[in-house]
Structure 1
Amino acid sequence: MSAADSASTAPRSQVWAHVGQPFTPDSFDIVVVGAGRMGAACALYLRQLAPHLSLLLVEEGGLPNEEGATILAPGVWTAFDVPEGQEAAAEWTREQLLSGIEKLEVESRPLVELLRDGADTVPSSEALAHAPEALALLDPQVYPCAHVDDRALTYRPGQLALQAAQQAIRLGANLLLNTRAEPGVGQVKLHRLTVTNTHQIVVHETRQVRARAVVVAAGAAGPVLVEHGVGLHTRHGRAYVQYPRLNLPTSAQTPVLRAGGLTLRPQNDGLTLIPPIHHRDPQGYQPAGGQLTGVLTGLRREVLEDLVALMDGLPALSSDRLELGRSSADIAGAWVSLPGGQPDTIPTAEQPAPGLFLLLGGPRADTLGLATAHALATEVVATLD
């Protein structure tokens, strides 16, 4: 029986959350590996574009996965991050954030880029006049000017992944949780995971399903899965990033701030610091920032240098309100995929082998990720129909 034939007889919208639920299907039209925001969004768009094709969304953890880069991503849409030629994709993504993903909580929060000088700027004191708590963070003599993006938005990428996956399920997608996938050409090996009495994660059973198309959207692990599955060497790198925290009060009027490449994102009654990504890290990199007042920093040397360089203009960075050891999500850090190994490359989708697609987000996924996921879904449907 072909995958197309099995699609017509397979039950719709099944969710297998644990190994106590027998998993019996042997084929699907499409398998999406990874239920982060890119994979979940791609699954949603596939269901919208081709409801006649059967689809299985596979996630190694729960939904959303609290170990991936999605849960830590900044969640800031801004026109300042749009490369030339990507304006339409950015606007499409913005509309999707506002109305395309059901129940997604999006806030309109201006982004103020602080500058030492520049043309077509406004005084920083004027840009922050309605947010005195933000104005108190900076030395206006160091940063007297500012650019303002009044159309910037903030949201939680983890919630986006959850809502997109739930919407895809309502439209007929199947979901398999707690399963490690090994994608290949025309097939995916599925290792269903369980936890022993000694809290060890082990493989409970291994099954293999056929698929006419496989989309690998597993974040930084995606290129590795493709390399292992088809034996092709990919050009993609990854970088270790951590988001320190500045414990200062914020309000609904506090804008997103940016200075010297550092973004300060109001979140959880404080400010999450989003440092720039300098370059790709080697395989197996572990941060070795030493200890600061007894707390393991776990930061790259370049990030510490960035913070020190900004302390004259942002004196709060030199106060005891700065936390380097933990992120706002209480996770030491996260790996993010860098398409091409470059920190400013846009999200990408490519086809390394027939029927096998690789979908990556990366640093600009906040602004362009949904458009890239939709473009890939359109390409996959055109390939199968």
Structure 2
Amino acid sequence: MPRALIIVLDSVGIGGAEDASDYGDAGADTVGHIAEACRDGRGDRDGLRQGPLHLPHLVSLGLGLACQASTGRIPPGLELEGALKGAWGYGVETSRGKDTPSGHWEIAGVPVDFDWGYFPNTVPSFPTALTDALVARGQLPGILGNKHASGTDIIDECGAEHVRSGKPICYTSVDSVLQIAAHEETFGLQRLYALCAIARDLCDPLNIGRVIARPFIGTAEGGFRRTGNRKDFATQPPADTFLDRLATEGRAIVTVGKIGDIFAHRSTGREIKPNGNEACLTAAIDAMGTLADGGLVFANLVDFDSEFGHRRDIPGYAAALEAFDRRVPEIAAALRAGDLAIITADHGNDPTWHGTDHTREHTPILCFGPGIAPGPIGRRESFADIGAKTLAHLGLRQSAKAALWP
């Protein structure tokens, strides 16, 4: 019986969607702009990487062709020179918003057809009733931040006062999110998680997509840095996803990275949550080694987004793409006859773009495996086509809301 592997390269978009202007993102193009920056020398960093963007394995799967189909141009350095080895196309998000739950839920067959709640870009950002309740229920001396901010910037700004006062740092962005940063040692990691659970309950009536725990360590003198113990407290998907369908059928499910958090730990099977792209990819590849027939490994590689996209770090993002590309042969080697692997993304986060937020973009869909015929799969009018194709490949009926490719 065939098996499937889906790897979400978090934020690796390939060109502004048709409605990008509604989000202030007309012209955004994560992969295309990184490739141009590398061509022009803006992707160089001593000791990290130099020169044009080099993604030979992804290009052989059709990445450059998918970019061309999305934007009308092949990014520099991504021209196909050898044999095509994958089925390629691009996805169009139909969900409202451009955040992680929207993209992942749509991949899983549940597009978001409602409006998320958002916090205004004012100071303070959060309703007084929310913060008063959080302070009371969390037994806090107060909170810091209470505004839109970059996660690293606000820790630098408020970290010392947080350690001194015990007040957690609360902030948001253009996404439907409340983030709470606290020092792992002086505040306590489990206490931070418990506080985020309280915030999740308080945010439910406001239709906020996620509450995110952002632990950090360090000192004001030596600097603060975030740790790998981030935890997302997402609201439940509003309908059954393909994970629910697989669970009902008794299929093996392994979720890697923050997939479990994104789906509120519903039908997410065996959850593995290492820290960083390399560890998550290793875990996904290892899971394929023991995955039962008819099963699914579903992985998210978050560093593209959290470490490089939001931080507008072009060389770092380029180096992360190249590091992933070098391991594509390992992914292929983990597949056996009948298996399907899909590499895709959930949104964009163009590191050349203004601000620090996600960008509304098309996403690549690169499919490969023994017996998967190379060639175009075209423009997919919803990310949900990915979930439908996965279910069909595993021998299960797909949703009527999605369309299959050959």
Shorter-chain TM band: under 0.3
Larger Rg: 1
- Structure with bigger helix share is 2
| Bigger RCO (CA 8 Å, 6+ sep) | 2
- Structure with bigger strand share is 1
TM (normalized to structure 1)? Answer: 0.24
